[in-house]
Structure 1
Amino acid sequence: MSNMIKTYVPVLTIAGSDSGGGAGIQADLKTFSALGCFGTSVITATTAQNTLGVKSIHDIPVQHIKEQLEAVLSDIRPKAIKIGMINRPEVVEVIVEALGQYPDIPVVFDPVMVATSGDRLIKEETVEVLKKELFPISHIITPNMDEAAVLIGKAVDSLPEMEKAASQLLTYGSAFVLVKGGHLNGDSVADVLCGHDGQMQVFKSEKITTGNVHGTGCTLSSAIAVFLAKGMEVEKAVELARNFVFQAIDAGKTVKTGQGSGPLNHFHQPKKMIIHELDQ
């Protein structure tokens, strides 16, 4: 075994920081760790945030974001990249330029626009830039119903409308679109996956009654990135990521954290670090 080395599976998150620990960078890194990957991060903004809402947002200087990207990508090249909160057009441009040098790394983009509390997290002028520049380099985008509505300019509040929205969003250039239906009325949750092959796949699961859903979207997109990093196809990555989130919500449904919308239990599974054996 002397001629073998061990490495962790590295996954990068580019997103905002949640000081309350339930969403954003914090949720991403917890997800990577829980699923056996080594997480690296590029922070685009910090928030003064807790379970009750977002108090303020501090933008990280664009030059520093660029330097974070260069530092991570040049040394710990990720097997997949998750992108979350980007609230300024100039940040989009820096990210697209940097990732253009790594077209083989799958990108999971969660277009975070509104926090669970209802607080707006993105500037209006950024939306069009995201569609034009970031969607085309994304392997999969994962908007929820509200975000999909903002992106296509009309309400999305039923399963048929989610399917139409997924097809429309594909025209912006990503390989896949996953429209999340966590807010659908009824006893079940449905997510719609659509790809350029025309196949529409609907994933359904039981809706868990709980107030602890802060960071659900961040966790799902991060889990998808993990499974893509491990070499899985998108359909399987989405299926496994949804299972992980379902279990994390179920495990945390009776836990009290803060006075508002609490987090998931990311570490509900025994932690098993997954390694690759590489020839030296």
Structure 2
Amino acid sequence: MTTIVLTVAGSDPSGGAGIQADLKTFAALGAYGCAVLTSLTAQSTQGVTGVLPVPAAFVREQVETLVADLDVAATKIGMLGTAEVARTVGDLCRSGSLPRVVLDPVMVSTAGSRLLDEDAIEEVRSMLPHVAAITPNLPEAAVLLGLDPEAQAGDVATMRDQALALRGLGAERVLLKGGHLGAEQAHGAVDLDSDAADLGGDAVDVWADADGLTELRTPRVDTPHTHGTGCTLSSAITALVPVRDTWIEAVTDAKDWLTGALEHGRDLAIGHGPGPVHHAWRQHHHP
């Protein structure tokens, strides 16, 4: 049976992030992807020059029309942009219209462009108890927790604390992504007597759920080509969770796949800024 997964997010015409990255990821991981647009952007690898929101009522109409016909197994929510759209999508989550939601609380692009209105933050925060998992990066976690920007986690111990704090806001499962954390900082944050001490060149994420905390490590890829990494990871989890036995297995497999996509991103040579990851790396490199 075909696994159908949905992305509710903004468009990236450069193809590296947003809806375009989500659909590429779904296809690469064997799922049939469908999409609801929340906004259009004028965007390249060098940044975002304009955003055109889709009216909230039309976002709702897209979702309701789609789910009345397609048997959607899981949903990724990305860029929401405005408070009105965030409120509408939050209502759809609360009503159960969107199944098995992975919320990627997109606020700022890799190039530093703001992608969420200030007055939409509370709407996104109110969604946390009504989704299956959230995947914030360190700055996004700080915003969701109402902290000053300089209070974002600077070590793994603080990441663990903030992942638990996000659970305290109602998030059932949290993947706190440590890509903003330098390898040296991560190494210094770990108890040298623990099994987690040898982080070396690893990238460290923290997974929190009802069973507790787990530190997830993958080799840190030294590359500037990270455009769309967050979108891609959350959509990979969305594609895999319907066909894995547990959430942690889906997350681990998604991270491993993303590591390969990052490693092969340099093969693409797309644009003059930070290029995208290589979503089709398995198909191109493993015939």
Whether the TM-score (by the shorter chain) exceeds 0.5 is yes
Matched, 1:36 2:30: yes
The equivalent of 2:204 in structure 1 is 190
Q: Equivalents in 2 of 1:55, 1:74: separation in Å?
A: 35
Matched, 1:270 2:267: no
Which structure's residues are more often strand, by fraction? Answer: 1
CA deviations on 1:179-225 (whole Å, 9 max, x unpaired) are 0001211222100001133x110011211111110011101000111
The equivalent of 1:220 in structure 2 is 233
The equivalent of 2:190 in structure 1 is none
RMSD: 1.5
What's the CA shift for 1:155?
2.2
Matched, 1:61 2:55: yes
CA deviations on 1:112-160 (whole Å, 9 max, x unpaired) are 101000111111111111112x111111100011111222213212111
**Per the alignment, in what secondary structure is the counterpart of residue 216 of structure 2?**
strand
**Amino acid corresponding to residue 50 of structure 1 in structure 2:** S
**Per the alignment, in what secondary structure is the counterpart of residue 2 of structure 2?**
strand
Match of 1:149 among 125, 142, 145: 142
**Amino acid corresponding to residue 87 of structure 1 in structure 2:** G
Query: Any unmatched runs of 5+ in structure 1?
Result: 1-6, 272-280
Match of 2:122 among 107, 115, 128: 128
What's the CA shift for 1:253?
2.5
**Per the alignment, in what secondary structure is the counterpart of residue 269 of structure 1?**
helix
Gap change, CA 1:233 and 1:103, over 3 Å in 2:
farther
**Per the alignment, in what secondary structure is the counterpart of residue 36 of structure 1?**
coil
Matched, 1:179 2:176: yes
Q: Equivalents in 1 of 2:255, 2:205: separation in Å?
A: 9
The equivalent of 2:250 in structure 1 is 237
Between 1 and 2, higher relative CO (CA 8 Å, sep ≥ 6) is seen in 1
Q: Equivalents in 2 of 1:72, 1:122: separation in Å?
A: 25
The equivalent of 1:278 in structure 2 is none
Taking structure 2 as the reference length, the TM-score comes to 0.88
Matched, 1:48 2:42: yes
Map of 1:65-76 to 2, 5 A cutoff?
65-76=59-70
What's the CA shift for 1:66?
1.1
Structure 1 stretches of 4+ with a deviation exceeding 2 A read 96-105
**Per the alignment, in what secondary structure is the counterpart of residue 93 of structure 1?**
helix
The equivalent of 2:110 in structure 1 is 116
8 Å contact 2:78–2:105 — kept in the other structure? yes
What's the CA shift for 1:164?
0.8
% identical aligned pairs: 39
**Per the alignment, in what secondary structure is the counterpart of residue 111 of structure 1?**
coil
Aligned length, in residue pairs: 263
The equivalent of 2:78 in structure 1 is 84
Matched, 1:163 2:168: no
**Amino acid corresponding to residue 165 of structure 1 in structure 2:** Q
**Amino acid corresponding to residue 139 of structure 2 in structure 1:** D
What's the CA shift for 1:104?
8.3
Match of 2:272 among 233, 248, 259: 259
8 Å contact 2:55–2:85 — kept in the other structure? no
8 Å contact 1:183–1:189 — kept in the other structure? no
The equivalent of 1:22 in structure 2 is 16
**Per the alignment, in what secondary structure is the counterpart of residue 283 of structure 2?**
coil
What's the CA shift for 1:99?
3.4
Q: Equivalents in 1 of 2:204, 2:44: separation in Å?
A: 28
Q: Equivalents in 2 of 1:29, 1:23: separation in Å?
A: 10
What's the CA shift for 1:68?
0.5
8 Å contact 1:210–1:254 — kept in the other structure? no
221-230 vs 95-104, greater mean Cα deviation: 95-104
The equivalent of 1:13 in structure 2 is 7
What's the CA shift for 1:67?
1.0
Which structure's residues are more often helix, by fraction? Answer: 2
The equivalent of 2:130 in structure 1 is 137
Q: Equivalents in 2 of 1:249, 1:138: separation in Å?
A: 28
Taking structure 1 as the reference length, the TM-score comes to 0.90
Query: Any unmatched runs of 5+ in structure 2?
Result: 184-200
What's the CA shift for 1:28?
0.3
What's the CA shift for 1:96?
2.7
